[in-house]
Amino acid sequence: MRQPTSWAAAPLRPAPPAAEVHVWRAPLVQGPAALGALAETLSPDEWRRAERFHFRRDRESFVAARGALRDILGRYLGVRPELIRFTQNEFGKPALGGAEAGGPLRFNLSHAHETALVAVACGREVGVDVEFVREDCAGLDIAERFFSGGEVAALRGLPPGQRTRAFFDCWTRKEAYIKARGEGLSMPLKKFAVSLAPGEPAALLWAEDDPLEVSRWSLAELDPGPGYVGALASEGAQAGHQCWQWQARRG
């Protein structure tokens, strides 16, 4: 039986995580005042990215997600959100830039529909993924395109009523892993396998490019709320994770 995640009220000044990973859940539907305040913290580049979205809802979700990320990181760093600078590697994985470049703080952001997740760690790479569950996106034809042969076989072996959840468990775990590695889709999803059977702990089962990857990374299931599936990947031995509910600051 799956255990629901407890999302505690977030502190304004969290201590940098030592032996654990912090996961923040942020609602992307914000009122005009809160959304406006978050928008003011974005960089010109983030504004340009926001303006590329055709639909207003998508544009506002992007602004809320990036604004929440800046607010969360600002709490750890003790700086105003608008002063945070970002850089990225050749595959597009973001990291802190400017005065914070090269520091121990690591982070990752994922958002889907009306929810975002932000993972924060110190001295270890981390990846997070959240997906909104949709039956039409969980077909075996999609699994055959992206999943390994063993994952597809495991999915086929499940009762039809369990396949949608198992599909998204598999998808989020794979996404969290490649995001933590920071190589994007340059690493084909078929080249490694994760657990997906109901009741089976989240785990990396094998990786074609390096068998030692299994011992290098840890996976954990997250429960972002009804209608969503989430996963966390972190470097090193299994780390505990603390989950917090983010809220936009007032005033």
Instruction: Identify each DSSP E strand in 14-72 by its residue range.
Output: 20-27
- State the pLDDT at residue 138: 83
Q: Of 14, 22, 13, which Cα lies nearest the Cα of 239? A: 22
Integer Cα distance of 72 and 246 in angstroms: 8
C-alpha 94/C-alpha 88 separation (Å) is 4
Can you list the domains of the chain with their CATH numbers? 20-111+240-245 (3.90.470.20), 130-235 (3.90.470.20)
Q: CA-to-CA distance for 106 and 125, rounded, in angstroms?
A: 6
pTM: 0.95
Using the 8-state DSSP alphabet, how is residue 78 labeled? T
Bridging pattern class, strands 240-245 and 20-27: parallel
- 77-115 pLDDT, tens digit per residue, is 999 999 999 999 988 899 999 989 889 999 999 999 999
Q: What is the pLDDT of residues 22-40, one digit of tens each?
A: 999 999 999 999 999 999 9
- pLDDT at site 61: 97
For the chain, list residues with pLDDT below 70. Answer: 1-4, 250-251
Question: What is the residue-averaged pLDDT of the chain?
Answer: 93
